[in-house]
Amino acid sequence: MNSKTNKHQVRFALLLAVFCALGPFTVDMYLSSFPEIMRFFDTNASMVQASLTSALLGLSLGQIIIGPLSDVHGRRKPLLFSMILFFISSVGCAISPNVEVFIVLRFIQGFSASAGLVIARAIISDMYDGIELTKFFALLTTITSVTPLLSPLAGSAVISFTSWIGVFIFTGIVGIYLTIMTVWKVKETLSVGNRISSDFKGLLKNYKTLLQDRKFMGYGLASGVLFGGCFAYISGSPFIYQNIYGVSPQMFSILFALNGISLMLGAQLVKRLAERTTPHKIFLIGLLSSFVSSLAVLIVVLTHGPLAALVISLFLSNVALGIIGPISFTLAIESQGHIAGSASALLGILPFLLGSITSPLVGIAGEYSAIPLGVIIFATSLLAVFFNAVLIRNTKAVPASEEMNLD
């Protein structure tokens, strides 16, 4: 690949990364504002965490709806409509009269943000395949991993001179920017001839085909459940770091930003390994790393270990996620062809759907216990190993004719 082509690829990845980062940005930016939001609405921690759960559910449902729509109508139109809706819902969050309305609007905000995730990945699958798909998605993951670095820091910076309301005014401005980017910069990558019928039964059939594909679901569930554990950390970390370990909102943002560095490191390892070994072996490396690091997290919280030990264990756990994310996506989607939008949607909803379950559970023991976090993260790593053993490894033993029917 010459330098000119490489520069073009990086610029293109940057453009898609902006849209991919919208979902995580929507989730992460207001985390340091949790205590302030709780006081503003005169509510409890569980209700504030419910706004995170609501946004995650919106991100999940949005992908499963918007993904197939992009297979029917192309990538550009659904993306444009969603960016406009994101702007409106962001402003709505800022002027919410009570926590219940805030929770509903967070759902809409997550729903609209999901378009950036699912459509950007579908665009990638429209244009690349094989090792190029793996390398490009690793590049995209590297870039989008900056989001956890920037979003909590941006949120902390905003609330340092204004209230939590300013965070959502800021996301509204981001929505305006992305609307303009969609109009001026995003080109259609799915030709009319490659689009699928808008028949509802046909869309359901596509999802049925994907759900019956054991390897697709194996990689999707293994990755999804691990990222579900990550969302438990996202939900619980503001209270664990600030209430248990007594760190400031600014220090919390710095510690949380380490997630971005760890995910970038994992994605870079994927790019390095892609030309040296098989994709499935890279996946297994990530799976083993996740198991070991999640066990370390569990031991630290059970023994009430120091902050440094918890931060290091979580950092290594996120490095494993940085490996598993891009490689599992490549392995799952590379054979899905014209239903890449639906496949991307199904892969995309799993982390957020599972995250919507784990997020409230992390606070089940109250604001001053980290034990649920350690249990959830370790349990999700065990489930990922289980999905690999039952759905992925066992598929190799399936007769070719039966495997073709499943696909």
Residue 268 maps to a domain: yes
Residue 104 maps to a domain: yes
* pLDDT for the residue 52: 87
Q: How far is CA 129 from the centre of its chain?
A: 22
Rounded to whole angstroms, how far apart are CA atoms 152 and 254?
8
* pLDDT for the residue 383: 95
pLDDT digits (tens, 9 = 90+) for 32-87: 788 889 999 988 888 888 898 899 889 888 888 888 888 888 888 999 999 999 99
The structure's pTM equals 0.69
Rounded to whole angstroms, how far apart are CA atoms 247 and 308?
12
Rounded to whole angstroms, how far apart are CA atoms 324 and 224?
10
Closest CA to 345 of 52, 60, 53, 85: 60
The contacts of residue 292 (CB under 8 Å, 6+ apart) are 316
Q: Stretch 373-382: mean pLDDT, rounded?
A: 93
Q: Stretch 132-148: mean pLDDT, rounded?
A: 72
What one-letter code names the amino acid at 295? L
Residue 30 dihedral angles phi and psi, to the nearest 5°: -95, 5
Region of poorest pLDDT, from 134-148, 173-187, 206-220: 134-148
Cα dihedral angle (117, 123, 127, 131), rounded to 10 degrees?
10
pLDDT digits (tens, 9 = 90+) for 273-329: 887 888 889 999 999 999 999 999 999 999 988 999 999 999 999 999 989 988 898
What one-letter code names the amino acid at 58? G
Q: Is the pLDDT of residue 344 over 60?
A: yes
* Contact (CB, 8 A) for 41 and 102: yes
User: Residue 265 maps to which CATH number?
Assistant: 1.20.1250.20
Region of poorest pLDDT, from 73-77, 114-118, 131-135, 328-332: 131-135
* pLDDT for the residue 337: 64
pLDDT confidence tier of residue 386, bands split at 50, 70 and 90: very high
Residue 1 maps to a domain: no
Is the dihedral angle over the CA atoms 250, 256, 262, 263 positive or is it negative?
negative
For 272, the domain range is 10-188+196-396+399-403
Q: Stretch 221-232: mean pLDDT, rounded?
A: 89
Q: Stretch 9-26: mean pLDDT, rounded?
A: 80
Number of domains in the chain: 1
Mean pLDDT score of the chain, rounded to an integer? 83
Rounded to whole angstroms, how far apart are CA atoms 37 and 49?
10
Residue 4 maps to a domain: no
Residue 107 maps to a domain: yes
For tokens 């249990």, the residue is 375
pLDDT confidence tier of residue 9, bands split at 50, 70 and 90: low
Share of the chain above pLDDT 90, in %: 32
Rounded to whole angstroms, how far apart are CA atoms 168 and 396?
48
What is the 3 state secondary structure string of the chain?
CCHHHHHHHHHHHHHHHHHHCHHHHHHHCCHHHHHHHHHHCCCCHHHHHHHHHHHHHHHHHHHHHHHHHHHHHCCHHHHHHHHHHHHHHHHHHHCCCCHHHHHHHHHHHHHHHHHHHHHHHHHHHHHCCHHHHHHHHHHHHHHHCHHHHHHHHHHHHHHHHCCCHHHHHHHHHHHHHHHHHHHHCCCCCCCHHHCCCCCHHHHHHHHHHHHHCHHHHHHHHHHHHHHHHHHHHHHHHHHHHHHHCCCCHHHHHHHHHHHHHHHHHHHHHHHHHCCCCCHHHHHHHHHHHHHHHHHHHHHHHHCCCCHHHHHHHHHHHHHHHHHHHHHHHHHHHCCCHHHHHHHHHHHHHHHHHHHHHHHHHCCCCCCCCCHHHHHHHHHHHHHHHHHHHHHHHHHHHCCHHHHHHHC
Q: Stretch 27-35: mean pLDDT, rounded?
A: 83
Closest CA to 112 of 66, 169, 53, 181: 66
* Contact (CB, 8 A) for 288 and 344: no
* pLDDT for the residue 253: 78
pLDDT digits (tens, 9 = 90+) for 157-174: 888 888 899 999 999 999
Share of the chain above pLDDT 70, in %: 90
Residue 2 maps to a domain: no
Rounded to whole angstroms, how far apart are CA atoms 293 and 381?
9
